Structure 1
Amino acid sequence: MPQDAVAEPAFTVSSVDLVPGKPVSRDLLFNESDCKGGNRSPQLSWHGAPTDTRSFAITVFDPDAPGRGWWHWAVAGIPAGVTHIPANASAAGALRKMSAVEARNDWDTDGYGGPCPPPGKAHRYIVTVYALRSDDLRLRQGTPALMFEHEIRTVSIASAQLTFTYGR
């Protein structure tokens, strides 16, 4: 007799700070040069990760920036039992408390660096939460985000995305 297949729930990510159709809060925007934001990382929640998940990672990437795009955030080592991070988890130390490590973003700072596109066309920002089959990526605080992303992808078993836009 064939056994009924049991599908795992879909892996999804959501945010109270990034709601479709609502403007992005100034709190999330970068706060240097001609951008005057709070540079606070967004609240994120995820559900339906595969049962064999050993840890999570998060990236925020702007594919519309000139050249190869722009890394705003990469964090790895979020424990498997975690299903959300609060707003401002990067600067407030919540990620460090759970032993997660943050990359050096393309603003050349460690941790979250919010949106600050040049005036003109709005840019897309892709937030990805990865479920990983490893809890030790051997990544260190301050490693460039592009290297984080490479290591994350080598052990990713699932990912969930949300995209927001911002322009000036």
Structure 2
Amino acid sequence: MLKKLCIAGSFVLALPALALEVSSPDIQEGHFMAKTFEFSGFGCGGDNKSPALNWKDLPAGTKSIAVTVYDPDAPTGSGWWHWLVADIAVENTGLAQGAGSTGGKMPVGSRSFNNDYGIKDFGGACPPVGHGMHRYQFTVWALPDAKLPVPDNANAAVVGYTLNAKALAKKTLTATYAR
């Protein structure tokens, strides 16, 4: 939708701003994820594959992308970080299925941080049996820096804090899972 703007007494049409879009052929907003994306360990027996993610319409000034996966429903009092990766060059428009899993191919120059499983790889869904439906928030962050200004050993809270402080835009795709 075009908007009219009044500039110095004259009306001009302004083009709409592009909004960051995130999609996936593997997961859909509000839908249950396949067992392929369940963790392998902690009593879970999935394939621990990271789903494919695609993004477009990055805001002006974006110099890198970050991707996080967070479960706000984990019974920890502070949620559960499943994946944190930053410093993805803007030339990339997505990640293939399994890119963040053991043996996967992440973009050159990207950095992964320890998740709450204590690993740098993607850690799939693994809610406690009978705990009900959990939400898994796959968030793509557009950032103004080529390198997120945190040390390589930064914990999830520091990475999350810095992403929220720096983001030019972010978009979340929320899938669900239960056991």
Pick from 44, 52, 64 the counterpart of residue 35 of structure 1: 44
1:123 is matched with 134
1:80-91 equivalences in 2 (<5 Å): 80-91=90-101
C-alpha distance in structure 1 between counterparts of 2:15 and 2:28, whole Å: 31
2:13 is matched with 4
- Checking the alignment, whether the CA contact within 8 Å between 2:83 and 2:123 is kept in structure 1 is yes
Q: Which of the pair is proportionally richer in helix?
A: 1
C-alpha distance in structure 1 between counterparts of 2:115 and 2:133, whole Å: 20
Matched, 1:47 2:52: no
Q: TM-score, normalised to structure 2's length? A: 0.86
1:155-166 equivalences in 2 (<5 Å): 155-166=166-177
C-alpha distance in structure 2 between counterparts of 1:117 and 1:152, whole Å: 25
Indicate the larger mover: 39-48 or 144-153.
Answer: 144-153
Provide, for residues 7-40 of structure 1, a one-character-per-residue CA deviation record: whole Å limited to 9, x for no partner: 2222111111102475422221100031001111
When residues 135 and 21 of structure 1 are mapped into structure 2, their CA distance, relative to the original with a 3 A threshold, is closer
C-alpha distance in structure 2 between counterparts of 1:166 and 1:6, whole Å: 39
Structure 1's unaligned 5+ residue stretches are none
2:26 is matched with 17
- Checking the alignment, whether the CA contact within 8 Å between 1:8 and 1:48 is kept in structure 2 is no
- Checking the alignment, whether the CA contact within 8 Å between 1:45 and 1:85 is kept in structure 2 is yes
1:104 is matched with 114
When residues 22 and 64 of structure 1 are mapped into structure 2, their CA distance, relative to the original with a 3 A threshold, is closer
C-alpha distance in structure 2 between counterparts of 1:19 and 1:136, whole Å: 29
- Checking the alignment, whether the CA contact within 8 Å between 1:102 and 1:142 is kept in structure 2 is no
Q: Answer with 1 or 2: which has the greater Rg.
A: 2
C-alpha distance in structure 1 between counterparts of 2:144 and 2:155, whole Å: 22
Structure 2's unaligned 5+ residue stretches are 1-9
Provide, for residues 95-153 of structure 1, a one-character-per-residue CA deviation record: whole Å limited to 9, x for no partner: 2x421011101011112100100012110111110000111224454532222111222
When residues 30 and 141 of structure 1 are mapped into structure 2, their CA distance, relative to the original with a 3 A threshold, is farther
C-alpha distance in structure 2 between counterparts of 1:118 and 1:20, whole Å: 22
Matched, 1:133 2:133: no
TM-superposed CA distance for 1:75, in Å, is 0.5
Number of residue pairs matched by the alignment: 167
C-alpha distance in structure 1 between counterparts of 2:137 and 2:79, whole Å: 11
When residues 110 and 141 of structure 1 are mapped into structure 2, their CA distance, relative to the original with a 3 A threshold, is farther
